[in-house]
Amino acid sequence: MGKMPHLAHELAVTGGARFKLANIDPAGTHGVEKDGSEERLEKNCKRLSVLQYQLYAESQRALLVVLQGIDAGGKDGTISHVMTGMNPQGVTVTPFKVPEGAETRHDYLWRVHNAVPEYGKIGIFNRSHYEDVLVVRVHNLVPQAVWSKRYQQINDFERMLSENRVHVVKFLLYIGKEEQAKRFRARLDDKTKSWKFSEADVKERGYWDQYIEAYNDALRKCSTPQAPWYVIPANKKWFRNLAVSEILIHTLEGMKMKFPKAPADLSHIQFE
Ligand code: ADP
């Protein structure tokens, strides 16, 4: 242990316009050994469940966890490995897909705001409003004049949330292009995984560089003290899980939850 604040500081996106994904090694492990990592993750999951209980007991604040990643980056795996141990009653997971129905008849933040966790809960976004400056930008789904204003709008939105007791923490699960190919191949070769494979993913792979550029911009412009971005080197799943769990612990511990007082002085209550 003792690595916890360390990883949170090392992986946080700082430096504004100078930040570049190209400077990050997706296979990096920041000096953490694989040996013993499983035990460490298990311990972290237990700690997370205690912190979640405190958040729930207090019911004054919420935690919003944004998960983004290039296809096969491991969003689903992270949710299942890191959130295991949490009480399902205290967690919501919301996936964001291509907008449809009522979503298309509102501004892009409408569906997002609607899914923000209530006080006392942890909300996980599997994809998020960042798609509106990622896929939307890469494929020109709206003109540049529209998407380019969204960085500021997103910062304003996230600041509003934080000023209203919703803490925001954002993770980019960052894998290399080779690693993505490896994972796609594994999906094709494994009957239990091939259902996850879609040809659309292969098409998106052709836009790799454009996605990296769009991610660079989102990370540069939208990593703020009240809603920081963390880039998680995610080629190695054990490191990815460990890093996310440690940053979540760091975030929740920083919230310094307090148990509410019992409703009244209970000392006179006696049981037969
Ligand atoms: P996932 O890949 O997250 O497991 P899907 O395969 O259903 O789930 O992909 C969801 C798709 O929805 C992704 O291709 C993503 O880019 C797209 N998407 C999400 N939000 C938006 C948006 N606001 N505009 C356009 N496409 C979006």
Q: How far is the C-alpha of 242 from the C-alpha of 78, rounded, in Å?
A: 10
Looking at the predicted structure, is the pLDDT value of residue 1 above 80? no
Name the E strands within the chain: 62-69, 91-95, 122-126, 166-174, 229-233
Q: How far is the C-alpha of 93 from the C-alpha of 126, rounded, in Å?
A: 7
Please tell me the predicted confidence (pLDDT) of residue 5. 47
State whether residue 224 is helix, strand or coil.
Answer: strand
Q: How far is the C-alpha of 13 from the C-alpha of 167, rounded, in Å?
A: 17
Over residues 181-185, mean pLDDT: 96
**Torsion from C-alpha of 227, 228, 231, 236, nearest 10 degrees:** -80
Please tell me the predicted confidence (pLDDT) of residue 6. 82
Q: Are 61 and 166 spatial neighbours (Cβ–Cβ below 8 Å)?
A: yes
Pocket test of ligand 1: the residue of 68, 97, 173, 175 to mutate, having most ligand atoms within 8 Å of its CB, is 97
Q: How far is the C-alpha of 60 from the C-alpha of 55, rounded, in Å?
A: 8
User: What's the pTM?
Assistant: 0.96
Assigned fold of 7-180+210-254: Rossmann fold (3.40.50)
Over residues 58-63, mean pLDDT: 97
Specify the ligand 1 atom closest to the Cα of 108. Answer: 23
Ligand 1 contact via 186 beta carbon (within 6 Å):
no
Q: How far is the C-alpha of 135 from the C-alpha of 210, rounded, in Å?
A: 9
Ligand 1 contact via 132 beta carbon (within 6 Å):
yes
Each residue of 93-118: pLDDT tens digit? Answer: 999 999 999 999 999 999 999 999 99
Ligand 1 contact via 98 beta carbon (within 6 Å):
yes
Q: Which amino acid is at 199?
A: E
Specify the ligand 1 atom closest to the Cα of 134. Answer: 16
Task: Look up residue 73 and give its two tokens.
Answer: 């980056």
